[in-house]
Structure 1
Amino acid sequence: MVQKKLKVITMALLVGTLSTGCTLVGEHKMTGGGTMASAGGDKNAVFTFNVESCGEEASGRVNYIDHSAIDFEQVGGVSFNAKVDDFGFCTLGAIEDLENGTPCNCENQFEAQFSYDSKNPQAQGEGTGFACFVDTGEGKGNFHGVVTAMNLDSGPYAGYFNAGTMNGNIQTHSCPDKNKETESE
């Protein structure tokens, strides 16, 4: 029952995001890892990330494996490591801000935009994509986060999409205090 409700919430968030433009804002740091249902396959996908936008540039890594992805079973599934190109919280921006800001796909959620390298020898190459996620907070149960989109735009996995609850954890962290770093130097 809970997973059915979360699927409805996830799809509502996704539909709302596909029709809006927004910009990535703020200083944030997030980590996460766990499994989620495969994109149509019979196994689980594994998703880990460590991303931040605490300084002038975003940084971090995203790792993802979905060996039984239904549209990629002929090449042994999806497997990649990625470098974060941009990360932040997506908010609906004014038209002027959209022209100067980074467009995003996940209104009122966190988004990591990345460049990936395939780790699958049968689907070699590089590409780009983005992941959208929500920290649902600490609590009881097997999941503490929702991945509302894992979307690969280009490269050997162009067109791959997955979303769902994560059996694992997504956590929001504080950025290091810049004043303390300056005082210690």
Structure 2
Amino acid sequence: MKYLTIPAVLFVAATTSLNGCAKLDGKVTVGGTLNSQGGAGKAVLTAHASRCDDVVTGQANYQDQTAIDWQDVGGVAFKAEVYDAGFCADEPVHPDGIGDTTKHCRQDVCTGGMYQVDFTYKSTNPTTPGEGAGFACMMDTGQGVSSGFGATGILRTMEIESGPYQGYRNAGTMSGNVQVSTCPSGDSK
């Protein structure tokens, strides 16, 4: 009997690893600081993004002047345009159940209850010109320092996948705010 149980558990684990979270309609507004990626200073992030009736809009600004590997050139600094976003569903769904892969959160990093933003950016640092792409996952802790997390929001990760800042990553608690909200009535499904 134990032999039959083990393959069943392995099958369930394999099936679960194929599941991801669906991106749902919602909005996020971010503004604040977090620790620099390995540097001595602070990183500053301001952003707003929304997915309402599957229409995605948004922009972001980011600066980390003391980022390791970029501190000698003035740090990481860019303006971004959001091209995809969404609130990650709490319940995992099989990717075939959604169909459109742009409606999937990155299951390896952005889990249920987080907001995912995908963006293209243009460097605003003249010593590192260029354009690229990246993504961020964040969470609204709801009640700030009394939330138990000691912060008003959490940047689970921001990862730059291409361009002059390829390989840059940062994560941490925000001293500003991450606020996730629903779309205005009539705009959400």
TM-score under structure 2 length normalisation: 0.78
The alpha-carbon deviation at position 134 of structure 1 amounts to 0.3
Does structure 1 conserve the Cα–Cα contact (< 8 Å) formed by 2:95 and 2:101? Answer: no
- Give the 4+ runs in structure 1 shifted more than 4 A: none
| Stretches of structure 1 lacking an aligned partner (at least 5 in a row) | 1-18, 180-185
Distance 1:76 1:164 in 2: 21
Q: Give runs of aligned pairs for residues 50-129 of structure 1, distance below 5 A.
A: 50-91=48-89, 92-97=92-97, 100-102=100-102, 103-105=104-106, 106-108=110-112, 109-129=114-134
Does structure 2 conserve the Cα–Cα contact (< 8 Å) formed by 1:68 and 1:76? Answer: yes
Quote the residue 1:42 is aligned against.
40
The structure that has the greater radius of gyration is: 2
Matched, 1:133 2:138: yes
Equivalent position SS for 2:59:
strand
Quote the residue 2:8 is aligned against.
none
Does structure 2 conserve the Cα–Cα contact (< 8 Å) formed by 1:40 and 1:69? Answer: yes
Q: How many residue pairs were aligned?
A: 161
Instruction: Pick from 157, 174, 181 the counterpart of residue 165 of structure 2.
Output: 157
Equivalent position SS for 2:152:
strand
Over the residues paired in the alignment, what is the CA RMSD in angstroms?
2.0
Relative to structure 2, which stretch is displaced further, 167-176 or 101-110? Answer: 101-110
Equivalent position SS for 2:143:
coil
TM-score under structure 1 length normalisation: 0.79
Equivalent position SS for 1:29:
strand
Counterparts in 2 of 1:40 and 1:157: CA distance versus 1, 3 Å: same
